[in-house]
Amino acid sequence: MDDRAEIREFLASRRARITPEQAGLPAYGGHRRVKGLRREEVAMLAGVSVDYYVRLERGNLSGASDVVLEGVVRALHLDDAERRHLYDLARRAPAPTRARRRAPARRLPSTLQHMLDAISDAPAWIHNGRQDLLATNRLARALYAPLLADPRRPVNAARFIYLDPAAHDFFPDWERTAEGIAAILRAEAGHNPYDKDLTDLIGELSTRSETFRRHWADHNVRQHRTGAKKLHHPVVGDLELNFETMSLASVPGLTLVIYTAVPDTPSADALRLLATWAATQDQSGPNLQEHQP
């Protein structure tokens, strides 16, 4: 990404969504020429000069202190994911004079696969920041059978959502799911701007999906920590599942995800049926061991 353009467009898009009323400013009558807050209003709310804030919004976060950044966070009502994204943009090292080499592939520790295999009653898998599925247990392979039908490895959730027509059936709320995955990739791009595989993925999605281009242009960012998901599985039907995520200390950059269903619900029954179906399948699972953390 172009760092200055990313900063400029991110701050401008956040400013455009905040009304004076939301910011606690007096509501003056008459037509406003800009959508959302004016730069001078953000500067006042952030406690900086107008000239300094204009410099920030033009893409120059170099030297911005935590006090300044927190002022911008408050003024623009940034959530946790957006705050982290702003700090990532501010803390980026200067662009290198030569392209960074891609890190050599490493094998996922076998202990992590053993951990996944020990989780027998819930779908569990590990992914990286690009949303590559790197390892799964048997129930996760059964749940994500539509994704794993793609022979390309590693399987990528964003590629499936935007480029595979089957995703529209698998995710009943497809538009919201697609917006969310684009926001997760945007946050990851801010955190790891020199990840060539991520850059290639974003380029591929931008080239092949008009919807992704639209979602990417929104400059939304999101963190995927906990929540609920609705899925429609081709074998067991509709599922409403809760998920929790945790970072893996042994391999930085990787995340463990576990899905569960509320006991004594149709979704819990569907998960049990899925486990029975999975046991009848000859599923050795994809070769997910080679990865870029």
Annotation: CATH topology of 3-91: 434 Repressor (Amino-terminal Domain) (1.10.260)
pLDDT of amino acid 225: 86
Number of Cα atoms under 13 Å in the Cβ half of residue 256 = 17
pLDDT of amino acid 175: 96
pLDDT of amino acid 9: 92
Q: Which residue do the tokens 């994911």 mark?
A: 81
Q: Which amino acid is at 213?
A: R
Tens digit of each residue's pLDDT, the chain (293 residues)? 578 888 999 999 999 999 888 888 876 555 677 778 989 999 988 888 889 899 999 989 988 888 889 989 999 999 999 999 999 999 874 544 444 444 434 568 889 999 999 999 999 999 999 999 999 999 999 999 999 999 888 999 999 999 999 999 999 999 999 999 999 999 999 888 888 899 999 999 999 999 999 999 999 999 878 999 999 999 999 999 999 999 998 888 899 999 999 999 999 999 999 999 988 875 444 445 444 55
pLDDT of amino acid 47: 85
Which residues touch 110 (CB under 8 Å, ≥6 apart)? none
pLDDT of amino acid 193: 83
Q: Rounded to whole angstroms, how far apart are CA atoms 58 and 43?
A: 13
User: Residues 134, 273: contact at Cβ < 8 Å?
Assistant: no
pLDDT of amino acid 97: 42
- CATH for 107-291? 3.30.450.180
pLDDT of amino acid 178: 97
Q: Rounded to whole angstroms, how far apart are CA atoms 132 and 129?
A: 7
pLDDT of amino acid 106: 54
3-state DSSP helix/strand/coil % of the chain, to nearest 5: 45, 15, 40
Where in the chain are all domains bearing CATH 3.30.450.180? 107-291
Which residues touch 136 (CB under 8 Å, ≥6 apart)? 116, 123, 124, 125, 126, 144, 285, 286, 288
pLDDT of amino acid 285: 46
Q: What is the pLDDT of residues 105-153, one digit of tens each?
A: 456 888 999 999 999 999 999 999 999 999 999 999 999 999 999 988 8
Where in the chain are all domains bearing CATH 1.10.260.40? 3-91
